[in-house]
Structure 1
């Protein structure tokens, strides 16, 4: 069982925001299902939660029980003082602006869920789980907890065109931008995607975790069919092997196509294998030897071999992890 609490707040009396409800709604929509339409998270979406007590109760409820994954996403105002960070609620008062980030982390730390994931798109969000905020010791991150925030504790989180910069990239990552070759999207791959997209002068995302394995937040259709990746060990019995090619692997090298032909002509079985190898080359798992393109490797009777990334996936297949 995977559950997600998604909260977006625009209606702050003294400092209203424009894009947080859009952010939360978009995030809830995409995380609810995987790329193939299969169910992913059981999502509860709340907008403009007015009071600190109400929001705190919702977070407490999320982290109750023993679900496989409990995910909390928040888009709204964030604040920081000499004690720590806070996600702000509309009923904010001086010295009591909202839910303490330390309290959120404590609830996650004490949760019976296997994986606890907290994603904050708000100013000063990097204060969550910081070892030290302005000299105050913060709550430590327990095993199974992952934190992804829009900015450092000293930074603001910005909106552009009615949507947070961080969440825009987060959604792109979840749509497949940060997927591995099997279609899995993890918190680590999302952070890497966002980190690379933001420049050194932009707000900087923060990633903190205490886990022994990454959980997949969402899956999308893989760039290459899994069965094609599994064929790596068939085409390359050992990772040092090269797969010998000749013109019979190229489907255009046929008497049915009017151009200069080279014997041996295209053979259906070889053409099928070559299309697999071309797909694997397209995602960086296979490279032609002594030629720039696979087409010329075939037409000039050269070979292809595993890339470094291809060797990694070859081992995964060999060890029956894929």
Structure 2
């Protein structure tokens, strides 16, 4: 069982309201609740506050977080978009009724809840100002205190503000893009680490910087999308390249194209052209490269070879160990 508490707060009684947090919460929910293809992923609870009529009070927010992390689940995920505050005593997530910064839900309390949670994996994702302080031990700068299975991903460092742009948080826009498939590996798995890498690469050095803290031993999947190549085809990489550094020999019988073929060249062989189609897919995915030729066509027509890249060797090893 995978559960998620998703919170978006635009309305604040005593401070400046926000504009994109509720939309962000709905976007994250739509990504997390179903995998690509429609299978059930996270069981999501959504809390939003757009006006005085649906405001979220501090007590309700804290109780919901506590219930999330007290549930025994495979993965318990908490996402928050709203105002954040930091002072000498630590960081806070502000509910609609906060009249001052330290009246929010303490990030230190949330850390205690997550650290003591019976869930196997705990994930905290924060799109709020100063959220990078989450996970730090009180009074100990840059010293995270995370139990095994806990991951924290935040929109900015503890010194920075989290920006909104075009009606959405900059961080959450990239998060949703990552979950939609931009951060997937070849087999279609999206992990907290790959989401962070996608966001980190998308933001410049002068922009808000995301923060990633984790203490995990096992692979954690946030969402599954269609793989870049069918798995049964990917598994052929070990059959075609049985040993590290193996060079797969090519000749004109692998190339189905008749154009450019000399009179003395052998004709295509169907079995070889099928293998070549798979090799070309590997090439497009940066799993292999032709040797001594600019393209795979030239490698075949000139009877050269191809070999796996470092990424290709990585997947060959995974398949050899039956991990894919």
TM-score band by shorter chain is over 0.9
Contact 1:187–1:215 (CA under 8 A) maintained in structure 2: yes
SS in 1 for 2:311: helix
Contact 1:5–1:71 (CA under 8 A) maintained in structure 2: yes
Deviation per CA, 1:73-96, whole angstroms, max 9, x where unpaired? 000000011100000011113364
Partner residue in 2 for 1:37: 38
The aligned runs of 1:126-137 (5 Å cut-off) are 126-131=132-137
Deviation per CA, 1:38-90, whole angstroms, max 9, x where unpaired? 11100111101521000001111111221000000000000011100000011
Give the superposition deviation at 1:196.
0.8
Partner residue in 1 for 2:192: 187
List runs of 5+ in structure 2 lacking aligned partners: 50-54
Give the superposition deviation at 1:17.
0.5
Q: How far apart, CA to CA, are the structure 1 residues paired with 2:142 and 2:171?
A: 27
Compute the TM-score of the two structures, normalised by the length of structure 2.
0.94
The aligned runs of 1:240-255 (5 Å cut-off) are 240-253=245-258
Matched, 1:147 2:152: yes
Q: 1:148 to 1:264 in 2, by over 3 A?
A: same
SS in 2 for 1:288: strand
Contact 2:20–2:168 (CA under 8 A) maintained in structure 1: yes
Partner residue in 2 for 1:277: 279
Matched, 1:217 2:219: no
Partner residue in 2 for 1:64: 70
Give the superposition deviation at 1:138.
7.6
Partner residue in 2 for 1:2: 2
Q: How far apart, CA to CA, are the structure 1 residues paired with 2:190 and 2:76?
A: 16
Compute the TM-score of the two structures, normalised by the length of structure 1.
0.95
Q: How far apart, CA to CA, are the structure 1 residues paired with 2:138 and 2:111?
A: 14
Q: 1:137 to 1:190 in 2, by over 3 A?
A: closer
Deviation per CA, 1:196-218, whole angstroms, max 9, x where unpaired? 11111000000001111230101
Q: 1:259 to 1:310 in 2, by over 3 A?
A: closer
How many correspondences in the alignment? 317
Deviation per CA, 1:247-301, whole angstroms, max 9, x where unpaired? 1111112xxxx66445211111111100000001111111101011111111111
Q: How far apart, CA to CA, are the structure 2 residues paired with 1:8 and 1:267?
A: 59
RMSD (CA atoms): 1.6
Partner residue in 1 for 2:24: 23
Match of 2:301 among 288, 299, 302: 299
List runs of 5+ in structure 1 lacking aligned partners: none
List structure 1 segments (4+ residues) > 3 angstroms apart after TM superposition.
Answer: 135-139, 258-262
Q: 1:226 to 1:197 in 2, by over 3 A?
A: same
Give the superposition deviation at 1:240.
2.0
Q: How far apart, CA to CA, are the structure 2 residues paired with 1:291 and 1:34?
A: 40
